Structure 1
Amino acid sequence: MIPFAKAHACGNDFLIVTEDAAAKRDWSDLSRQLCARNTGVGADGVEFFAWLGSKSGRIRLHNADGSIAEISGNGTRCVAAWMCSMIGAKAGDELRIETDAGLRICRINSVRANGSYSVEVTTGMGIPSASRKTVKLANGHSVEGLAVSTGNPHFVIVVDSSDFSVAGTTWQEIGAQVCSHSDFAHQTNVEFVHIVSPNEIEIRIYERGVGPTTSSGTGTSASATAIIAFYRCLSPLRVVAPGGAQTVKWDGPGSELELTGPATLIARGEAWCG
């Protein structure tokens, strides 16, 4: 039996499993079993966690397909919510979480524990970088976008259409092609951005190792980076995904980006895994 906690951030859901509970297991295989929507618990990924101190920990992220990811902004925030519940953290507390993309400091803005357990968290997401890039698809068509690093790779495509399509092709199809394109040695996350105003954008996300998702913390951060840097949108920027809105504050190149959003605990339990 594998004990777990489940949480979501704007519908982007994760399981938290301690390293002790997963000892002597193949984490990739375990993640595929646990994340399966119909035969497992169901999730976009598993955060394997180890305590490093009373308010600090380390996480290793495996996607639903078992692949390893450097970081998830939403997954990190879900872990912060779980840590809050475990230690009774309050608004104003800071949690330190080591990821494969570096240290992330999560500031707890609020805790709501009446009927459900939710927190609002501001996370320092590191210093992002962005540059223009063109990807040539197998059919010969070229897709213009921005390659963004937020500790993991992203390709951001700005669209004019309200359905987020690109040259008459659905964003899901383009996302799948770009994600696995040979230009990206370890694949890439893909975001499609529609600019609503200088202070707000809407996005769709094709996540590496998962597919279309309702939300992504690093995808939100990457989209905001691209739009603030190259399209003269303003910080703080409201970023709306199908799962909900998050806010990005970024002062431009060389400065750390801050991501603010909610995370909610869903369940605790145990799972049979062969």
Structure 2
Amino acid sequence: MIRFVKAHACGNDFLIVNAAEVNPKQQREVAVKLCARNTGVGADGVEYLEWTGERSGRIRLFNADGSVAEISGNGTRCVAAWMAHEKKLGSGDNVVLETDAGPRKCRIVEASGDRFQVASQMGVPRFDLRAVRLIDDVIEGVAVSTGNPHFVIFVEDGSFTLHGRKWQEIGREICFHPDFPEQTNVEFVRVVDTNSIEIRIFERGVGPTTSSGTGTCASAVATISHRSGAEHLLVRAPGGEQQVVWHGGESEILLTGPAEFIATGEAFGC
């Protein structure tokens, strides 16, 4: 049996598992079984947590399809909230998580029962304008690295269609495009006003999803750098809102959003 904690951040759900309970050679297989929506517990990914101190840990993320992701902003926030819960931390306390994209410092903004607000330092982004040639079209966007890869595309209306095609179709085609040998996350951004944007996400290893922390950061960086967005930006996804602060250049992204526990339990057959 595998013990787990299930949590979500704006509908982006994760299972938190003690890394010591699963043989490293079996972590991929266990993650796929646990994440299966109909035959497992169900989640977008599994965060394997190894405690390294009272307020620090090491995490590795396996997506629902078994692929390894360098980092998830939402997943990291969920783990930080769980650590805060376990150590009875409160507003103003910090935890540090080592990810495959580097260390991330997370500050507990608010703690109330099973609900948390967490502000996470998300590193210094790298980005450039880029065009991707599809079979019958060329899509222009902004390639952004937030420790993992993103391709951000701007759209004009609330349907998020582009050149007469659904965003989910274009997202899938770009995610698996040969230009991205390791695949990429794809975000579609509609600028609402100077202070806010709305996004849709096709997540590498998952598909269309309600939210993404790093996708939120990438979308904000692209908007601030290429659409004159405010340095304090509200980002709305189908699962909820997150706040991004980025002052440009070599400054670090600060992502603030919710994390909520759903359940704890034990899974059989893993």
TM-score by length of 2: 0.99
Unaligned runs of 5+ in 1: none
Moved >6 Å (runs of 4+): none
Corresponding position: 1:252 with 2:248? yes
Query: Which position in structure 2 is the counterpart of 1:14?
Result: 14
Q: Could you report, residue by residue, the CA deviation over 1:137-193 in whole angstroms, capped at 9, with x for unpaired residues?
A: 1x2310010000000000000001211011000000000000000001100000000
Matching residue within 191, 198, 207 for 1:195 = 191
Aligned to 2:73: 73
Cα deviation, 1:227-248, whole Å, max 9, x if unaligned, reads 0001101021000000000000
* Structure 1 residue 23, shift from structure 2 partner: 2.5
Give matches, 1:230-245, under 5 Å. 230-245=226-241
From 145, 148, 161, give the equivalent of 1:149.
145
- Aligned-pair distance for 1:24? 5.5
Question: 1:25 and 1:270, CA in 2 relative to 1: closer, same or farther beyond 3 A?
Answer: farther
Task: Give, in angstroms, the shift of residue 76 of structure 1.
Answer: 0.1
Q: Which residue number in structure 1 is paired with residue 94 of structure 2?
A: 94
Q: Does 1:118 align with 2:115?
A: yes
CA contact (8 A) 1:61 1:68 kept: yes
User: Deviation of residue 273 (structure 1)?
Assistant: 2.4
Q: Counterparts of 2:142 and 2:213 in 1: how far apart (Å)?
A: 17
Query: Partners of 1:110 and 1:142 in 2: how far apart?
Result: 44
Structure 2 residues not aligned, in runs of 5+: none
How is 1:1-274 mapped onto 2 (pairs within 5 angstroms)? 1-23=1-23, 25-113=25-113, 117-137=114-134, 139-274=135-270
Shift of 1:29: 1.0
Residue identity matched to 1:252: G
Deviation (angstroms), 1:20: 1.0
- In structure 1, what is the Cα distance between the partners aligned to 2:223 and 2:216? 11
Counterpart Cα distance in 1 of 2:74 and 2:63: 13
Q: Deviations over 1:5-25 (max 9, x none)?
A: 000000000000011111265
Alpha-carbon deviations, 1:79-118, whole Å to 9, x = none?
01111111101111000000000000000001011xxx01
CA RMSD of aligned residues (A): 0.8
Counterpart-to-counterpart distance in 2, 1:168 and 1:273: 45
SS of alignment partner, residue 217 of structure 2: helix
Equivalent position amino acid for 1:165 in 2: T
Aligned equivalents of 1:248, 1:13: Cα separation in 2: 20
- The one-letter code sitting in structure 2 at the alignment partner of 1:119 is F
- Taking every aligned residue pair, what percent have the same amino acid on both sides? 57
Question: Which SS does the other structure have where 1:259 is aligned?
Answer: strand
What secondary structure sits across from 2:225 in the alignment?
Answer: helix
Partner SS state of residue 185, structure 1: coil
The residue type equivalent to 2:16 in the other structure is I
| Residues paired across the two proteins, number | 270
> Cα offset for 1:129?
1.4
TM-score (norm 1): 0.97
- The amino acid that maps onto 2:33 is Q
